[in-house]
Structure 1
């Protein structure tokens, strides 16, 4: 698979709702009024080892531009998010080390809230079509799944939206403005897939120039460089996940231009790099199997090698199990050389993880589409993907 312009979607930072975006019919953006008459108080947290300024929503969630973080995705102290080996444990506070999580089986599970207007529903379906017609991403309306994203009407009279980052159990959400267009909604689905912003990639200064003097107060962290981002491809100025030249401008002057001085419009469709990047991060046929078919899910999959560079979506075998690389960890898919039938769903009858409960060694929970068991060392062991 080509890697040119890959992972324009694995972007870092949050899309500014200070100056927002466009529908697919034009390249205009509108200045978004604050949700209240008061400027929200911002606090510093660490995300993947870098400082960000976020608004504490007082419900275990934090807002960073158009991205919602859970408290497990942020830290009060700098944390090393360097390479990890398959089978690495997770602290007893499940999710602390999980960072950003992929959707299992390439499928976003969603709930349409009753607050949505008929137009918002149509925009949502059209944006889903943009992803399904060009990438390996699928969508499924929730039946009984214990992880999903709820799509709601924020009630704001704007072409704007905000979304949770990656799988967040039952707390995932996309909040749509009344006039949200396809371009904005397509962008927010990118965040739900786990993608951040293009202009914060570590290679961005080779392609664009940032003008800090024009950036709104409190928004400078929206333009930080993330040296831990997953960037196997080159920077993509046409990505659906890039800011426009005026997003977060405080004075009507550009905050970002291409090196030749060209302005960057907000994009309303997936770029070629977006498509290639998504299809590497979410490979075709990614239902947990390996590369060789037959009864052994590990057939054709190479053993993990210490020190080798792996990208999101890569599969390896390790100590008799098949693993898949997530954004910040490895997920165990299943046991190699499977010769006996497995239950229809290993997560059946297992309750979802609750951060308000106390767990003992041996307890099992489901979290973000996987089954976990708490070990005696107070670390959770990933037992495999739900549905297998």
Structure 2
């Protein structure tokens, strides 16, 4: 987007030069005059392109801008206006209409280049002064008020359009940078929040027990120095509390790694839509339309949704993804289908094309909770199955998991 905006702005000044030959009838002028004015226009455009680059860097990133390029652009605009006034003093074909056009073509590149370099009030005040000076000069060179009034209106319209166009382009880029920065901040905040939650759980579980262990250990030391038999009782209590703490920590870690279907469905929808994938979720059991699924089923299907979402992002150029959860004859069925799979690809969503998918199965690798292998083992422990393969349409793949509702405890 930034490259598109920059090069679009870079191209704008050259439209002034394209109109210079026909509008000012330079083809009828002597060759030295024609080439001099065209060279002046080219120099203005090159300086304006450099001002655009510095102006965008200044507007977006706050980088300082030196005074040389703005001063050079102002000097070239002044030379162009002076040349136009000199030509108008000679009469035809440079009449009042040509005077207006010459003023616009001379000041236009300067207005474009300075739109991002100065505040709006400063820009308006500066160009109002330029328009007033040009009007006075036109009135002195050409009789009547047509050239003076027309130049003022022409410069006002040109400066206003330049300010609006360039500022809007810079503002769009600025908003996009802010959105990108906010996404990074949001990701960091999510990680920090999860760390705080996990740290809080560990503190709640271990803080009291460690304090009791330290206190009873100190008491046991004092009793042992006095050769009191109660020291053994205190150390047995310390051992018991330590075992309880170990079990509670395992419970915290187990709860930390559990996946919940409703949470994973919401996360999949959010992540895929952020990746410009149209994600449709249909799960009456989690929306209150049917009886809620057992906890073990929700956890297992949550892992399927998480892995399938990861594989859609990693292995497919998808535009849509549909997730459907149904309960049929005492069996929970989850289907996840996406498009964007290249023709002839055997990886599909990365979840494989069946039991013989080498690329995806290698990625399933080790670990009880990642990849197809881990998902099949997790579902098999609950009496379920996992299938993956081409979907109904061309370039689509489907991940299908089935789990019985009974006997999953």
- TM-score, structure 2 as length reference: 0.21
The structure whose Rg is larger is: 2
Higher strand share: 1
Structure with larger RCO (C-alpha < 8 A, sep 6+)? 1
